[in-house]
Chain A
Amino acid sequence: MNLLVGYTADQRGAEALELAAALVQGTATPSLTIGIVVPATTPFSAIYPGGDHGFDSILSAKVDEWAVTALAQVPQGVSAKVVARSVSSVAEGLIELAEEVGAHGIVLGGRKRHRAGFFMPGAVANALLHASPVPVFMSSPQALASLRAANGQITRMTAFVGDRPGAREVIANAAKFATIRKVALRVATLVADSDVSDPATELDPHLVRTKTFLTELTESMGLQASIEVISRQSLDEAIDSLTWEAGEIAILGSSRLAASRRLFVGAKAQRILGKLHVPMAVIPN
């Protein structure tokens, strides 16, 4: 498996690299492409006085330096190369690179920033989540702590799905990763009381229906998966009550699919992303 790392020469870049290495290790041909995207200048933002001041040559020398640092962090047994690209937007550059090198996914590091009561992915991650043609993996310091607790070994894949037919694609993608990595697969659905119009009478039948639907779906796909339907008063409580193994990876469908997958509409999907403490992947359709 080949992953593209969205690399910056700081802590978050190092973390992205660590997660990416963990993801590819143990696959048939583990390789990483370390992408450094340099923002392209447009002539219409001319720097005056004195033009570029030799900035381009200093920056490219710096990028060479960063490339050496990055390669030094790649574990033995994983082949890696660094590609630098000058594009006006970082997300755009990463997508271009991913398509060129045929990467199976893009890996980003990141900090979760507290905004209006819940966490949001960063600007680059957000842009990728809405445009990437390949899966996007995201780490955070807490997520890496979970991975390190398992000695960098991935132990299980958890696919978050709704109760609609579109869940099949997310499960199929998660299963693909689980098979490559030879780890267990879990399918989780979160149900809040507000998902049904009258919780007192409709909640239990809804839960039973969902569980049956997912069980039949995974069986029809020929998968061995544990199914968890978590029901709590609010989504936040449901997320919190899910238990995680060290080294687990969460997989969600991209918000681009929001229209067809109710569970992942807008704030709900963002909320799940923000509350998880394990590395996550968001998969396009």
Chain B
Amino acid sequence: MSQELKQETAEQPESGLHSKGLSTGTVGVVGLVVIGISCIAPAYTLTAGLGATVAVVGTSLPAILLAGFIPMLLVALGYRELNNAMPDSGTSFTWATRAFGPMIGWMGGWGLIAATVIVLSNLAAVAVDFFYILLAQLTGNQAIADLTKNLWVNIPTTLVFIAAAAYISYRGLNATKVFQYVLVGFQVAVLLLFAIMAFTSSTPFDRTPINLDMFNPASVDSFAAFAAGISLSIFVFWGWDVTLTMNEETTDPAKVPGRGATWTVLVIIALYLAVSLGVLYWAGVGQTGLGAGNEANQESIFAVLSGPIMGPLAILMSLAILSSSAASLQSTMVSPARTLLAMGYYKALPPSFAKISPRFMSPSVATVVSAAAAAVFYVVTRLISENALWDTITALGLMICFYYGITALACVWYFRSELFTSVRNFFFKFLAPLIGGVVLLVMFFSTAIESMNPDYGSGSAIGSVGMVFILGIGVLLLGVAIMLFTKWRHPAFFRGETIKTR
């Protein structure tokens, strides 16, 4: 009559916990390209990032987009090595902790959380803008599109979008294959349509002939502009590395990830070049009217240009951006929540962050905190910056450079004993991540110093310090403060008791 203490959770792989259940080996090259593009969310990144990038590099936009991919590629190669070596242990936080110890690991995790929280607030803001633009286009009443400029309407709507995304990710609803194919196909089709209509337009605003110089990175005015341009174009490729880190989900782990990653980047670069050349050709970089150099247009370039270029079809663009940013809002919400959860679990944050909802099997406290942080960040930037979206994107570029840089160097240091044992190791574990990491950290410091100038970004400033610097560095310093507080109250992680360093 004794109780049989039997658990099948740990020792039975077919119980599915460790083999990820149904997802094993179902993704082919096309599926992986779709996943990659959906993580990049090109309709969203272009509308949010193109204007800000034009602002710093002008007509060299195509060159910067091409150059920006290189550090992303180098870092992603390091990511892949870390992911293969420690597939179960997570991401920047755990990897950097294993390589460099608790303090740098903690800040790596914080950089990732900060970047995702910032992008969440930006995604929500873009979704809300296009929500009202779409409503205006549907009803034919232009006044509705202007509602988004009214803070009393804009802020509450954005908070509702953030809350809805948090609720959906807390409930653990998953996007299906069909949903992703439709969403991605629609996005790509609308962006191509935009590029074609820009080139075939009979009445361009400021016809700017395409020339080879646009593809020459050396034609960028200054190193500072180049650095800022790179950190922005990192943002537009952010998401691509997911194609390299998917292994066991693919039908052939030896071939599919490499091919999928290659095709994804080819599709994305082609799309970006088509759209950015279309924008340059049609609108020029002039600082007046519809010019892409006009500060008023840089917040969200498609909000301004899709109407004049696409006419009544602009409604498709609004729909593409709204769907892509809303879908990304929901899927990105999971990321900071899981990093916070992992940090709570390994005692790098108060243990309540480690709570998992027994019903929905998702982080509970961590999800609420992520959504609240994104909401607070949005409200603060919206209230104190003249051009919140633009400054946010620039601060985001900073943050991505920071945590990517740390993670890439973590790869080099983690594998330090085996770097020179083979040619493969030398390139993938040493050279690529080292160059990528150093480049990104240089971009980080260069952009951070540059952004202290009050004229930087949208030109908002507090005192005589630029808004982007205050946002970016402020968030990092907040991280340092929280880290020191946690170290004082919950020292276990910082003594190396929860994650072993190598």
Contact = CB atoms under 8 A, between A and B. Distances in A.
A87 B239 CA distance: 27
B401 interface: no
B409 interface: no
Contacts of B93: 53
A282 B321 CA distance: 47
A49 B116 contact: yes
A26 to B, nearest CB: 13
Contact of B90 (A53, A59, A63, A84): A53
Interface stretch (A66-74, A171-179, A218-226): A66-74
Nearest to B5: A71
Contacts of B92: 50
A57 interface: yes
Interface string B33-45: 0110011000000
B341 A55 contact: yes
Interface in A27-42: 36, 38-42
B331 A45 contact: yes
A81 interface: yes
Interface stretch (A7-15, A125-133, A188-196): A7-15
A43 B358 contact: no
A117 interface: no
Nearest to B112: A50
B335 A56 contact: no
Contact of B338 (A46, A50, A62): A50
B27 A85 contact: no
B122 to A, nearest CB: 14
Nearest to A71: B5
Give the dominant DSSP class at A's interface: mixed
B3 interface: yes
Contact of B16 (A40, A44, A45, A47): A40
A219 to B, nearest CB: 39
A280 B435 CA distance: 66
B174 A47 contact: no
B363 to A, nearest CB: 8
Contacts of A205: none
B1 A38 contact: no
A79 B1 CA distance: 8
Chain B interface size, as a band, is 35 or more
A88 B21 contact: yes
A259 interface: no
Given A53-B335, A88-B174, A43 B246 contact: yes
Given A41-B20, A56-B18, A86-B17, A48 B361 contact: no
A49 B23 contact: no
Nearest to A82: B7
A112 to B, nearest CB: 16
Contact of B83 (A10, A51, A59, A76): A51
Contacts of B242: 46, 48-49, 51
A58 B83 contact: no
A227 interface: no
A84 B8 contact: yes
Contacts of B360: 39
B254 interface: no
Contacts of A46: 35, 38-39, 242, 246, 331
A38 B88 CA distance: 17
Interface stretch (B132-140, B142-150, B175-183, B442-450): B175-183
A44 B172 contact: no
A62 B89 CA distance: 15
A77 B9 contact: no
A64 interface: yes
A203 interface: no
Contact of A9 (B16, B35, B115, B358): B358
A10 B6 CA distance: 20
A48 B92 CA distance: 12
Contact of A39 (B1, B4, B172): B172
Contacts of A47: 331, 334-335, 338
Contacts of B249: 43
Contact of B22 (A13, A42, A71): A42
Contact of B342 (A9, A58, A60, A82): A58
A99 interface: no
A71 B2 CA distance: 12
Given A71-B3, A81-B8, A51 B91 contact: yes
A268 to B, nearest CB: 29
- Max chain B C-beta neighbours (<10 A), residue from A9, A49, A50: A50
Interface in B356-386: 356, 358-361
Given A42-B174, A43-B27, A51-B91, A60 B4 contact: no
Interface string A87-120: 1100000000000000000000000000000000
Given A44-B31, A51-B83, A82 B23 contact: no
A269 interface: no
B48 to A, nearest CB: 16
Contacts of B339: 50, 53
B16 A49 contact: no
B423 interface: no
A39 B354 CA distance: 18
Interface string B243-257: 001100100000000
Given A39-B361, A83-B15, A67 B7 contact: yes
Contacts of A39: 172, 174, 360-361
20 contacts: A40-B23, A42-B22, A44-B38, A44-B174, A46-B39, A48-B332, A49-B332, A50-B339, A51-B242, A53-B90, A53-B341, A55-B90, A58-B345, A62-B356, A71-B5, A76-B1, A78-B3, A79-B3, A80-B6, A86-B21
What are the 6 A-B residue pairs with the smallest beta carbon separation, nearest first? A54-B90, A86-B16, A40-B21, A53-B338, A50-B91, A86-B21
Interface of A: 8-10, 12-13, 36, 38-64, 66-67, 71, 74, 76-88
